[in-house]
């Protein structure tokens, strides 16, 4: 009896179905989370790449330069 015979006889069709279910559940959870976010938070996050520095970083830079 070879390994091919053993593996072909095993019922391994359940694993791809479980993987697909986990992927779909994660995808739906992410989509729902994004649609339920408050609009103000979305707008604030959209402006983040356009800001020069976050406020905490600019304060720490001033503290370092004053030393």
Q: How confident is the model at residue 64 (pLDDT cuts 50, 70, 90)?
A: low
pTM for this entry: 0.54
Query: How many domains are contained in the chain?
Result: 1
Q: Which domain holds residue 20?
A: 12-47
For residues 46 and 24, what is the distance between their CA atoms, to the nearest angstrom? 27
Select from 27, 48, 25 the least CA-distant residue to 35: 27
State yes or no: pLDDT of 57 exceeds 70.
Answer: no
pLDDT, one tens digit per residue, over 4-38 is 877 777 777 888 899 999 999 999 999 999 999 99
Residue 64 domain flag: no
Residue 20 domain flag: yes
64 phi, psi to nearest 5 deg: -65, -40
Tokens of 26: 């994660």
66 phi, psi to nearest 5 deg: -80, -10
């Amino acid at each position: 009896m070879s390994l091919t015979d053993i593996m072909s006889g095993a019922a391994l069709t359940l694993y791809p179905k479980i993987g697909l279910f986990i992927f779909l559940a994660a995808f739906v959870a992410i989509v729902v989370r994004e649609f339920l976010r408050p609009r103000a938070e979305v707008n604030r996050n959209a402006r983040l790449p356009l800001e020069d520095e976050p406020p905490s970083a600019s304060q720490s830079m001033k503290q370092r330069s004053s030393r």
